[in-house]
Amino acid sequence: MSSLDSQPVDSQSPNLQTPSSHKGLEALLAGLSGVDQVGAEARAAALGTRSIKKESKMWAIDTAISMVDLTTLEGADTPGKVAAMCSKALHPDPTDPSTPSVAAVCVYGDLVPAAREVVGDRIHVAAVATAFPSGRASLGVKLLDTREAVAAGADEIDMVIDRGAFLAGNFGKVFEEIVAIKEACGDAHLKVILETGELKTLDNVRKASWLAMKAGADFIKTSTGKVAPAATLPVTLVMLEAVRDYYTQTNVRIGVKAAGGIKTSKDAIKYLVVVNETVGDAWLTPDLFRFGASTLLNDLLQQRQKMLSGHYSGPDYVTID
């Protein structure tokens, strides 16, 4: 499990206390070593060549299904569409009851009651909050957005960071916002969306990951799915390394959610390999790794049908959401 850095993160002696002023935070982020981008891409590509077959593939597909946050985040979402998606989340393949349920459904805050009504407490309901997807609103609006979603029954909140502030170097503002939202979440789990497609560099991804974990994120999540590129293997690798380093320092396991752009079972299995090889199999659980996806589930189901029936399935044999 080699680190991609010329110097490991912990050799930089980051400040492990929550900074009372932002000096400590800025020192921590400035002290993070840069990411070797070519190395990260090469490592991700090498792990992506692993061949996972037969029983391992079957396990990987079932695990991946159980890690899916089945998502619909469209302006055209209706309570009926959300209800249909929730039924699918509970029983992804109605022709095969042995198919596991997905981990959660992910909807806009106002549709949380519609989702909760169908899923009960059988799976999690995640709501995007904080002026998703741009995050361009005042803190007051974001807090209200979060509180309303929690009050409506969401037990997971997917928030977006203020990328404008982050890119302008105003890390303190980003940090304080996450802390405030975390408080507003109460018992709900907080996933912090870094929107890595807008952060541009892997150095920024590493910085944002540390910032979010320090501020109290339970999960760090790659993307909103509204910006291309969304989740990529190298970005996820860098985030997982940050999670690993954070764990070695604090003994706290932070989850990672790869969202957007993962459409095939093959891609999903590559992510599972990267998780296993970077943070270990303790993370191969829906509590610590998730896929944010809408179309991925159908491909996983088709592959699962293929594994069980021996012949290739097609889109006619899964539901269109």
Partner 1 sequence: MIGNDRIEVRKTHKLFVGGAFPRSESGRTYEATNSQGEFLANVAKASRKDARDAVLAARTGFNSWSKATAYNRGQVLYRIAEVMEGRKDQFISDIQDAEAVSAKKATNQTDQAIDRVLWYAGWADKYAQVLGNTNPVSGPFFNFSIPEPTGVVAAVAPADSSLLGLISVIAPIITSGNSVIVIASTASPIPAITLSECLATSDVIAGNINILTGDPAEIMPSLASHGDVNALDLTGITDPELQKALQIEAAGTVKRVRSAPVNPDWQATPSLSRLRAFTEVKTVWHPMGM
284-303: contacts with partner 1 (CB under 8 A) = 302
Least Cβ distance, residue 51 to partner 1 (angstroms): 13
Token representation of residue 273: 């390999």
Instruction: Assign 152 to helix, strand or coil.
Output: coil
**44 with 237: CB under 8 angstroms?**
yes
* Distance in Å, CB of 315 to partner 1, minimum: 7
Amino acid letter, 105: V
Q: Is residue 158 among the annotated active site residues?
A: yes
Q: Give the tokens for residue 269.
A: 């299995």
Residue 307 binds to partner 1 (criterion: CB under 8 A)? no
Q: 57, 182, 214, 221: which one is catalytic?
A: 221
136/266 with CB nearer partner 1: 266
Report the 10 Å Cβ neighbour count for 244.
19
Give the Cα separation of 235 and 274 in Å (integer): 11
Query: Minimal distance in Å, beta carbon 96 to partner 1?
Result: 14
167 phi/psi in degrees, rounded to 5? -70, -25
Is residue 221 flagged as an active site residue? yes
- Is residue 99 part of the contact set for partner 1 (CB under 8 A)? no
Q: Give the nearest distance from C-beta 92 to partner 1 in angstroms.
A: 17
From 23-31, 271-279, 287-295, 309-317, give the range in contact with partner 1 by CB under 8 A: 309-317
Indicate whether 312 belongs to the interface with partner 1 (CB under 8 A). yes
Instruction: Work out whether 316 is an interface residue with partner 1 (CB under 8 A).
Output: yes
Binder of partner 1 out of 311, 319, 320, 321 (CB under 8 A): 311
CA distances from 52 to 64, 108, 260 (A): 13, 35, 23
The one among 21, 121, 314, 320 contacting partner 1 by CB under 8 A: 314
Question: Token pair 């992510």 is at which residue?
Answer: 271
User: Burial, 138: exposed, middle or buried (Cβ in 10 Å; 0-12, 13-18, 19+)?
Assistant: exposed
| Shortest CB 308 distance to partner 1, Å | 12
Residue closer to partner 1 by CB (options 40, 269) is: 269
* SS3 assignment for 212-276: HHHCCCCEEECCCCCCCCCCCHHHHHHHHHHHHHHHHHHCCCCEEEEECCCCCHHHHHHHHHHHH
Site for partner 1 in 224-263 (CB under 8 A): none
Site residues (CB under 8 A) for partner 1, limited to 16-75 = none
Work out whether 317 is an interface residue with partner 1 (CB under 8 A). yes
Question: Which residue from 192, 313, 319, 321 is in contact with partner 1, where contact means CB under 8 A?
Answer: 313
Residue 157's Cβ-side half-sphere holds a number of Cα atoms within 13 Å equal to 33
In this chain, which of 305, 319, 320, 321 binds partner 1, going by CB under 8 A? 305
Supply angle C-alpha 36, 293, 141, rounded to 5: 85
By beta-carbon proximity to partner 1, the closer residue of 52 and 284 is 52
Active site residue 54: no
The tally of CA atoms less than 13 A away on the side-chain side of residue 70 is 29
State the minimum distance, in angstroms, from the CB of residue 229 to partner 1.
22
The residue among 38 and 45 lying less far from partner 1, judged by its C-beta, is 45
Which residues are annotated as catalytic?
A: 158, 221, 257
The site for partner 1 (CB under 8 A) is made up of: 302, 305, 310-317
